[in-house]
Amino acid sequence: MSVEEDAKQVVRHYVEAFNRGDMNTLRALLAEEAEIQGVFGKGLFEKIEPIWRQLIEGYGMQLHIQSLIAEGNVVAARYVESGTFRAPAFGHQPTGKSYELVAMEWFEIEGGKIKRRWGARDSAAQARQLGIPLSA
């Protein structure tokens, strides 16, 4: 496989692990000092893991790959993200409502592992669809 295909395969494995809520596999896919940035802040896995757990366990978050584009070891991913608010998360009680939105992530892959990951998603649209108040 080419460098680009190898990098895209790492991202596919990341999405599969995320959708299963498999934190052990997610951790194994990240470089030791991987930098993870998203709408809730940035940090190493230990800081981000509780956020991801609330998204997965509370909102039932699932990522559905719409497109992956790679140039060298950099991969851009566009998803349809969906879920249902089924367990307490981020200080709110579940509403039972579902959501769907477009999300994007940008990855830098090194040595078959994710070295950097940036994420962008419309959290305001998510909150409206889930029936939770927007943060000030």
Residue by residue, pLDDT tens for the chain (136 residues) are 899 999 999 999 999 999 999 999 999 999 999 999 988 889 999 999 999 999 999 999 999 999 999 999 999 999 999 999 999 999 999 999 999 999 999 999 999 999 999 999 998 999 999 999 876 5
Tell which CATH architecture fits domain 3-130: Roll (3.10)
Distance CA 68, CA 82 (A): 18
Q: Phi and psi for 3 in degrees, rounded to 5? A: -55, -45
* Helix (H), strand (E) at residue 47: helix 45-53
* Angle at 35 (CA atoms; ends 32, 38), nearest 5 degrees: 140
pLDDT at residue 93, rounded to an integer: 97
Across the strands, what pairs with 41? 38
Distance CA 50, CA 52 (A): 5
pLDDT at residue 1, rounded to an integer: 82
pLDDT at residue 56, rounded to an integer: 97
pLDDT at residue 135, rounded to an integer: 66
